[in-house]
Amino acid sequence: MSEKGLIFDIQSFSVHDGPGCRTSIFFTGCPLRCEWCANPESWIKKKHIMIAENVCKWENGCRACRNACPYGSIKFADNGKQSITWDICKECETFDCVDTCPNNVLKQCVKEYTVDEIMTILRRDFNNWGAKGGVTFTGGEPLMHHEFLIEVLKKCHERQIHKAIETSAYAKQEVFLKIMKYIDFAFIDVKNMDREKHKQGTGVYNHLILSNIEALKKSGWQGRLVLRQPTIAGYNDSDENAYKLIEFMNKNSLYEVNLLKFHRLGLTKWNQLGKDYEYSNHGDMTEEKMQHLQELYLNNNIACYIGDNTPF
């Protein structure tokens, strides 16, 4: 039976996910749990719902979702306000609530795709990409779908489509290297060089990530690798962390880093998923601090790009 991929979004005109104009495919499921994550809907490797509470019409007496849910997940308090038992919804396979909501408050945010369906979408977008563009596999963590991804990559390779990946590199080394063989351009996140701080911020240690990057460089891989860091005040914005990353990059002949200034664009999604957002009032970086870090990398012969200001 052919593999299927669980995908939570496909964006056809991405201009910040690699060279040129690209089609970005967002896989669901991630082995990390970054406290600042902008796409928390991508954490679970299964279909699930999100809720846009601010457009719910419960004040008008609507109770359609509660009546449709066969598992008793949705309740309404005495003041009428809706509440969801997320532990019940996490196990749901039927999503009876979604189609009954007259206001699109409830959204099923992950769909299943076959390899052929993905290739049809890529063929549709092919003419938009221009000379440098192509497809970017992102998420979530695309490596969690490696069996499906390898089939898509082989077909892209046959059609000479440029292939990029945004990954944590947190996967078994043999899986990581097998996928990377087909990749032309990669963003790999290195969130913190300190082992304990990496675990504290992301839920996992950084050893596997760093050793996978080292193995990739030793493998003779011919692609272009840009390390990425979401830069967060009080977590990974110290000079010490930057110097450790520079040392690692020098050791592995890596020359490009992309610092992404912390933002809160994912805040609404955390609310929609019923989760508390750790970084609601801290973590902000100043422009001056971003420039300071950029200079530090540049002074150590590393090309450092801030945000979308990249040469690709």
Residue ranges in contact with ligand SF4 by CB under 6 A = 49, 56-58, 62-65, 69, 71, 73-74, 82, 88-89, 92, 94-97, 101, 103, 105-106
Residue closer to ligand SF4 by CB (options 10, 64) is: 64
Residue 266 is given by DSSP the state: T
* Residue 55 C-beta: closest distance to ligand SF4, Å: 7
* Residue 7 C-beta: closest distance to ligand SF4, Å: 19
**Which residue, among 31, 34, 40, has the nearest Cα to 175 in the 3D structure?**
31
| Separation CA 53–CA 55 (nearest Å) | 6
Residue closer to ligand SF4 by CB (options 69, 245) is: 69
| Separation CA 143–CA 4 (nearest Å) | 14
Tell me the H-state helices in 50-188: 64-68, 86-90, 96-100, 115-125, 146-158, 173-180
* Residue 280 C-beta: closest distance to ligand SF4, Å: 24
> CA of 262: how far to CAs of 165, 227, 230, 234, 239, in Å?
21, 16, 6, 11, 17
* Residue 79 C-beta: closest distance to ligand SF4, Å: 13
Residue closer to ligand SF4 by CB (options 53, 284) is: 53
Residue closer to ligand SF4 by CB (options 50, 225) is: 50
The number of beta carbons lying within 10 Å of the beta carbon of residue 56 is: 17
Residue closer to ligand SF4 by CB (options 96, 196) is: 96
* Residue 100 C-beta: closest distance to ligand SF4, Å: 6
Residues 18 and 185: beta-carbon distance below 8 Å: yes
